[in-house]
Amino acid sequence: MAMTIRNSRSSEEILREIIEEGQELQKAIEDRPRVRALNYDALFDQSLKLMLTTYFSKRDKAAQKLFDPSIGGPLASLTHKARLAYALGIIDKTALDDLLQLHKVRNIFAHSVDSSFSDTEVWKECQKLSTTRGRKVTGKDSLECYERSVGTIVKYITQKLQQER
């Protein structure tokens, strides 16, 4: 028994929409700056986890569950890790603010397939990064500003991790 779907749109229109959405997704996958933003965020998340666990007196499975998103671990998100790292004095306020801003940019890309560094929403978040130092950021230079901040944070985290050893 075949089931028919009643829809005001023709199957050709629906197929065309699916193809267009697939093309948008493919463009997003091929957008290297966008992919880098997602990967940098994952790197920062892992780095914060590593920094925090060096302060743990217990490093067993029970302690690791603090970071487990599947059970609602309180340190599952980058935001919570960064705020705790700041509260413990592991990172300074500038690093905290920049990590949170970089994470906002990541979230824009993660939740919208067609966003780019030239979008107003993205470059306005980049404007808030410490490396802009009051400079006006536009869609033309938001990627450069973003990557300069990433470089600064990577250097900062690397130094902090070396100090922990």
One pLDDT digit (tens) per residue for the chain, 165 residues: 555 545 566 667 666 667 766 665 556 556 688 888 998 999 999 999 988 998 888 888 999 999 999 999 999 999 999 999 999 999 999 999 999 999 999 999 999 878 889 999 999 999 999 988 778 888 888 999 999 999 999 999 988 888 876
Helix (H), strand (E), coil (C) string for 12-61:
HHHHHHHHHHHHHHHHHHHCHHHHHHHHHHHHHHHHHHHHHHCCCCCCCH
- The residue segments making up the domain with residue 97 are 33-164
User: 90 lies in a domain?
Assistant: yes
Distance CA(85)–CA(131), nearest Å, equals: 21
Structural domain includes residue 152: yes
How many structural domains compose the chain?
1
Judge whether 22 lies within some domain.
no
33 in Cβ contact with 143 (< 8 Å): yes
Flag whether 7 is in a domain.
Answer: no
Residue 9 lies in a domain: no
Structure tokens at 117: 């560094």
Has residue 66 been placed in a domain? yes
CATH of the domain at 42: 1.20.120.330
Residue 85 lies in a domain: yes
pTM for the complete prediction?
Answer: 0.79
pLDDT at residue 160, rounded to an integer: 86
Residue from 37, 47, 44 nearest 126 by CA: 37
CA distances from 34 to 88, 94, 102, 126 (A): 31, 24, 12, 14
Domain membership flag for residue 41: yes
